[in-house]
Amino acid sequence: MVREYHLRRSTRLPLAWPPSTGSRAVLPHRASCCLHPVPNLCPLGPENSVLATEAVMEVVSSGHSCLAFRQTPSGAWRLSGTGLGPQHIKLARPRKTSIHCVRTGGASNPGDSGKLHVSHVFHVSDIDAARQGIAKKAGEVEKVMIPGLPEGADGSQISTGLWEWKPKLTVYYEKSGNKNSKAPAVLFLPGFGVGTFHFEKQLKDLGRDYKVWTMDFLGQGMSLPCEDPAPKNMVGDHDGESYWGFGQDSEPWADELVYSVDLWHNQVQHFIEEVIGEPVYIVGNSLGGFVALYIGASSPHLVKGVTLLNATPFWGFLPNPARSPRLSKIFPWAGTFPLPPFVRKLTEIVWQKISDPRSIQNILRQVYADHSTNVDKVFSRIMETTEHPAAAASFASIMFAPRGQISFEEALSRCQSQGIPISLMYGKEDPWVRPFWGIKAKQQVPEAPYYEISPAGHCPHDEVPEVINYLLRGWLKNVESEGLVDLPFLEDPSFEDQGVSRELEFVRTGSRKSVSVRLFGSKTSLWSQLTSFLKWHASNVTRAMSR
């Protein structure tokens, strides 16, 4: 006969746990715990009840007066294989957390001694999760308090550096981190038009637990060239007088220079090898997400995992010469220096428009869903970049650069086949990379956790850094522990299929804020996401009309 029981965690074990003698412990006969069976019946009685612990246990009778515990690994996302190498890691379905209770014959029944009479199965969930108010059913929304950002001296110190990758091509980077040599290394890659300053909140916070790095892509931020790649050499040539790269001939070091995704891929690969010196977890926002996948697909030995923050699913407009040699011949100029005359004129017109302070302010208002977010520092750092004499020509090179040698979908597929763990964290209100693209990536890699955050736009790491840092810590612990630590929100195995929502609360500048986070289950479909989006859009229109 088999029965199922639910456990109420309201009492304490009258013994130290875990036992110092190994994986087995003896529970005294009069244990003060309570079991609640599915049929409202407790055949063991309150005196023989068992308290659940965080781990899964098998409870086997060792006689009529005591119970023996044997501890087994807790239910969690598991990773197959024994190492963290990309070729071994793969997320597996959580095991069911349970307690098995078997009663044998005792003194009251001498003739039945040693025979199995009854078995009971008790379902157990994580005690810490229960203490935090985790919902017991998929779809329930619970409020969970998470840490805020460190303030002042509590944050990890940030240091800066310059790395000369090639002659005249110097990369600016920042780092922060735990001095423990065993702490994992995490590399953050920025989106287009920004740089290392966009990850200051991650450097200060996550640097307390990990070795954290970030860099500026060549042609952006503070990795712009310190010399003119194509200086003006003709008398009377006043076109683009304040801009570099508008001359007639390129310098020898800039002959093959083009600010493309392939260049950034090579830059990041060599940076990991030569500067960081160990495999890393890569976290990329927008363009940085595309490059992060590219690195994982082409250099899996350097990447322990990839997290995409509203990653752009495509980059570049012109055909790649390696993939489409004939088609690429139609476009003789593809982002190299010097800029052709027609591109110079176009660049001057476009650059004056997009580098205008009002244009930059409008863009920031678009990509940040919560307009109360302080973006003054982001604005000032972007303006500093636009004032660099090399910025306009670099922008033109980026816009006319060819596509990468592999697409976003191909990179995602390669990462999956090579066993590189992937997580997806997307701001729901992003006007550029809509949640559709995150769901599409989730459909391609079903085992990847997909967290949708609201309100949050294109840059959730800067808009709601408390949430992103919380989710990242949980994901990193899950991968590093080979699945022994649950992914955030996946304490209950049923959530894997159906998904679950949470209200994450945190304190910022003395006031409490709340952000909704939805973890999509494996049964999520593009149709359900489209329906959800239409309902959300309709509700927004209704609210706007009611005003």
246-263, pLDDT tens digit by residue?
Answer: 998 999 999 999 999 999
- Does residue 154 lie within any of the structural domains? yes
CATH code of 465's domain: 3.40.50.1820
pLDDT band at 522 (very low <50, low <70, confident <90, very high): confident
User: What per-residue confidence (pLDDT) applies to 527?
Assistant: 56
Domain count, the chain: 1
- From the centroid of its chain, how far is CA 379? 25
Region 336-351: what's the mean pLDDT? 92
Return the minimum-mean-pLDDT range out of 74-83, 95-104, 320-329, 414-423. 74-83
Return the minimum-mean-pLDDT range out of 17-21, 60-64, 94-98, 524-528. 60-64
User: What per-residue confidence (pLDDT) applies to 304?
Assistant: 98
Cis amide bond preceding 18, omega within 30: yes
Residue 213 vs residue 32, higher pLDDT? 213
Rank 12-16, 38-42, 423-427, 538-542 by mean pLDDT and report only the highest.
Answer: 423-427
Give the residue numbers spanning the domain of 366: 143-522
- Does residue 100 lie within any of the structural domains? no
- Segment 220-232, tens digit of pLDDT: 999 999 999 999 8
**Does residue 491 contact residue 223 with C-beta atoms inside 8 Å?**
no
Return the minimum-mean-pLDDT range out of 32-36, 109-113, 239-243. 32-36
Q: With pLDDT > 70 as the criterion, what percentage of the chain qualifies?
A: 69
Q: Terminus-to-terminus CA distance in the chain, angstroms?
A: 63
- Does residue 75 lie within any of the structural domains? no
Cis amide bond preceding 455, omega within 30: yes
User: What per-residue confidence (pLDDT) applies to 495?
Assistant: 81
- Does residue 500 lie within any of the structural domains? yes
- Does residue 80 lie within any of the structural domains? no
496 vs 492: CA distance, rounded Å: 8
**Does residue 289 contact residue 436 with C-beta atoms inside 8 Å?**
no
- Does residue 83 lie within any of the structural domains? no
Q: What count of residues does the chain have?
A: 547
Region 96-121: what's the mean pLDDT? 42
Residue 121, pLDDT above cutoff 50: no
Model-level pTM? 0.73
- Does residue 340 lie within any of the structural domains? yes
